[in-house]
Amino acid sequence: MNYDAGDILKSLLARSFSAAGGNAPGPEHSAVLVCNKGDRTVGIIDPREGKEIATIPDSGVTVHEVVATPGGRTAFAPVYGNSGVGMPGSDGRTIDVIDVPARKRIHTIALGKPSRPHCVMINRRDGLVYVTAEIQNSVIVIDPGTFKVVAWIPTGQPQSHMLAIARDGKRAYTANVGPGTVSVLDLVRRRTLAIIPVARTIQRISVSMDGRYVFTADQNAPRLAVIDARANTVIRWILLPSVAFGTAPTLDGHWLMVTQPEKNSVALVKLRTMRVAKMIRVGRMPQEIIVTPDGSTAFVSCMASRQVAEIDLNSWRVERLIPAGRTCDGLAWAQA
């Protein structure tokens, strides 16, 4: 198969992306990719049929996150290992490459050293793949056309677990779980710009659509940090019903969706007021949220109930709870 980096970049720049780094396929060819950690597979969900139509086994021990290239033909799935953040266990050192239409793994990228690669995104500015390397205190940069590692960007902190890239593609932010900090990365010069103290422990991270704010969840208190992206400092806290996990903004920039695992719900934060305005009940223990490129729908992985919730963002109603695999977690949007 021919994977041309130039074609990938042209396609990438021609399309709008969701906050989760997805692509913009036509509705008749869309798919949701889901990481079924308990089954050690990446599942393909057909949103038209509302069911998982295929699973691809990972090459090692447990894929947690996944992303698809524009056009959705190729997906990248880092093989993390069998441990939790900061816990003893196996240390993944590979990234699986999946042909989505063919529903099979076509390549495995060897990183050359134990890394625990985890969160993966595609930068809409340069078309490159960015992956956190948790125990290397780095973000790995990969050329999606050649499957080669082209750079390691230091984060200056251990446990750099989650990643968010601003829409202009110039800055990235890592949630450094155990230190409770956020690293600010210059993706043009490939260096660390700042390290922001946030809380004792934090988790997933996202950036507002206008790039003004970065959000990350305190894991020891029911609150969400709001970071000023210009000042690189926490400027306020959003109070929540319970401890948060994943976040994602709606594409109109008006709302931030926040998973509430203890409440089996998604909290809707109105960004104009920075307050919770509504709660949507989903499956058990919701984790990650992605938004479709047309802004009409969100999908939420519900780890404990083995489901992916489909939310209509116009009515704020759960349309379906789609069965997925055991311990489902990371999600991505793809054109199948």
Q: Is the pLDDT of residue 2 over 90?
A: no
Res. 114: pLDDT tops 80: yes
Q: Cite the beta strand spans of 168-254 per DSSP E.
A: 171-176, 181-186, 191-197, 202-207, 213-218, 223-228, 233-239, 247-249
H or E segment to which residue 321 belongs: strand 317-323
Residue 70, pLDDT score: 87
- 3-state SS, residue 109: strand
What's the pLDDT band for 297 if we cut at 50, 70, 90?
Answer: very high
Q: In terms of DSSP H, where are the helices of the chain?
A: 5-13
Going by CATH, does the domain composed of 5-335 fall within 2.130.10.10? yes
pTM of the full structure:
0.91
Question: Where residue 318 falls among pLDDT bands split at 50, 70, 90?
Answer: very high
Cβ atoms of 128 and 140 closer than 8 Å? no
| Structure-token pair, residue 198 | 């946030």
pLDDT tens digits, 23-52: 333 445 789 999 999 999 999 999 999 999
Q: What whole-number distance in Å separates Cα of residue 216 and Cα of residue 225? A: 5
pLDDT, mean of residues 92-108: 96
Q: What does the mean pLDDT of the chain come to? A: 92
pLDDT computed for residue 25 by the predictor = 39
Write the pLDDT tens digit of every residue in 185-206: 999 999 999 999 999 999 999 9
Collect contacts of 216-219 with beta carbons under 8 A, ≥24 apart: 216/162, 216/175, 216/182, 216/247, 217/243, 217/244, 217/245, 217/246, 217/247, 217/258, 218/243, 218/244, 219/177, 219/243
Length of the chain measured in residues: 336
Q: Which of 216, 218, 196 is nearest to 207 (CA)?
A: 216
The domain ranges of the chain are: 5-335
Distance, CA of 276 to CA of 274 (rounded, Å): 7
Q: What is the mean pLDDT of residues 316-325?
A: 98
Neighbour-count burial of 255, counting CB atoms closer than 10 A to its CB (0-12 exposed, 13-18 middle, 19+ buried): buried
Q: Which helix (H) or strand (E) holds 79?
A: strand 74-79
Beta carbons within 10 angstroms of residue 170's beta carbon: 16
Residue 4 confidence (pLDDT) above 70: no
